[in-house]
Amino acid sequence: MRADASAEPRHTGAGDEPLLEVTGLQTQFPTERGTVEAVARADLSIEPGEIVGLVGESGSGKSVLAQSLMGMVEAPGEVVAGAVCLRDIDVVRDLADTFPDAVVDASDDDVAVARETADGAVSETAAAASLAGPGEFVVVRERDRDGVPVSGFVDIRRASEPALQRLRGGRISMVFQDPMNSLNPTLSVGEQIAETVRLHQDVGESISLPAELKRKIVGAAKNGEAWRRAIEMLEAVEIPEAEARATDFPHEFSGGMRQRAMIAMALSCEPDLLIADEPTTALDVTIQAQILDELVSLKEAFDTSILLITHDLAVVAETCDRVNVMYAGEIVEKAPADTLFADPQHPYTRGLLASTPRLSDPDQEVEPIHGNVPDLIDIPYACHFAPRCPESMRECFEREPAFRQVGERHEAACLRRGPERDRL
Ligand SMILES: Nc1ncnc2c1ncn2[C@@H]1O[C@H](COP(=O)(O)OP(=O)(O)OP(=O)(O)O)[C@@H](O)[C@H]1O
Ligand code: NI
């Protein structure tokens, strides 16, 4: 592992602000039967260095949400509302330089006005994002005396295709469930990782370095450095005899090794954010646990934030700092992982936990949630869980359940929770 990479702290612009802040995200697919609302108003944040889980049953919209974050929703599907704000000052500067027409300055005053117009119902970030006009996606909040941006974010949801490509190759990467679909069968595994390293270095991560120094570093990388780095990465994910195996083709790797290679490739560009969609689901339990362990230690080594998507609560319990529970296109509860398991609040989360056998207590009775996940077309009631909910009342079908604070860093979107005075 490279020492120089960890020596320099990552800049995220300001203090404890989230690296990624998703607000009001809504993604739809027009179909012959009507509009599938795969993601309806999702809010989500990931802080630097955090592993955040997104958990929910099959069909709840997890993968579509992940695709929405990366600008990868397949047409005719479309993100129709919301903002996906990546707050990384290096990215802001890089994209501001490359796409000057995409820059909008959002001063504190402008943001305050935008918030007032929305009756204060939106976050500061959402308000700042709303100031971007057509074609604008680099939101600068503050500049230094030389006019260089010192805080701001990129709204990925509005970013142009060339900007997205720049982000995907470098600052954000993704690992999918089936690595065979993501690895190129005609290139050796090592060559593919080396390619990612080269591509990334071309894009130029060290934007703040003087040009001369940058050329020197990039030049060195091209002469075999990328290949060396590929082998280092394969070693980091514990591929045995990495140097010899680097020349293997993907089909010569076992399922577990392919998954490791995918993770190696995704981390080889030292992304700020790794989105892992069911990265271990296809693997047997022992290998699954090993790979998750590795993911956690790699996260520490590379200082990467991770969004981990899974339907497996045990994976969440072992791996995540915080968790978001998703049901029928909506996030219904957010909490630190231990809190979620010790003190679940949303009736859906409670049902989900009660319906999942625990490894620690396999004899405990398991109680399935009655009913089925609704079809995501034109859901006519406000809380999507209401028809299956043992606690629902008439109003639950009629009134949108906004998030309520139910504990420290713990929120549930349920009218029957929260402070007594506004509880149903
Ligand atoms: N291209 C598409 N066209 C129409 N509907 C789609 C499309 N892709 C996804 N959907 C719908 O969006 C909803 C959410 O699907 P998604 O794949 O995000 O679920 P998921 O939570 O990832 O499930 P799983 O755990 O099975 O992967 C589903 O109802 C699905 O049918
Ligand atoms: Ni999925």
211 confidence band (pLDDT: 50, 70, 90): low
Query: What value does the mean pLDDT take over residues 86-108?
Result: 96
pLDDT, position 213: 56
Ligand 1 atom closest to the CA of 74, numbered from 1? 1
Cβ–ligand 1 distance for 306 under 6 Å, the answer no
Contact 39, 106 (CB under 8 A): no
Q: Tell whether the model's pLDDT for residue 160 goes beyond 80.
A: yes
CA proximity to 14, closest of 43, 45, 48: 48
Ligand 1 atom closest to the CA of 56, numbered from 1? 21
C-alpha 316/C-alpha 293 separation (Å) is 12
- C-alpha of residue 397 to centroid of ligand 2, in Å: 27
Among protein residues, the one with the nearest Cα to ligand 1's atom 25 is: 58
- C-alpha of residue 420 to centroid of ligand 1, in Å: 36
Give the pTM: 0.87
- C-alpha of residue 58 to centroid of ligand 2, in Å: 7
Cβ–ligand 1 distance for 144 under 6 Å, the answer no
Q: Determine if the peptide bond prior to 76 is cis (ω within 30°).
A: yes
Among protein residues, the one with the nearest Cα to ligand 1's atom 8 is: 64
pLDDT, position 216: 54
Q: Where are the alpha helices (DSSP H) in 237-284?
A: 242-245, 255-268
C-alpha 421/C-alpha 143 separation (Å) is 43
pLDDT, position 95: 96
Query: What value does the mean pLDDT take over residues 37-42?
Result: 94
Among protein residues, the one with the nearest Cα to ligand 1's atom 26 is: 58
Contact 36, 377 (CB under 8 A): yes
- C-alpha of residue 57 to centroid of ligand 2, in Å: 9
C-alpha 68/C-alpha 157 separation (Å) is 8
pLDDT, position 179: 65
Cβ–ligand 1 distance for 387 under 6 Å, the answer no
Mutate which of 26, 31, 36 for ligand 1? The one with the most ligand atoms within 8 Å of its CB, which is 36
C-alpha neighbours within 13 Å on the C-beta side of residue 357: 3
Structure tokens at 154: 């990129």
What is the DSSP secondary-structure string of 79-148?
Answer: EEEEEEEE--HHHHHHHHHH-GGGEEE--HHHHHHHHHHTTT-S-HHHHHHTT--TT--EEEEEE-TTS-
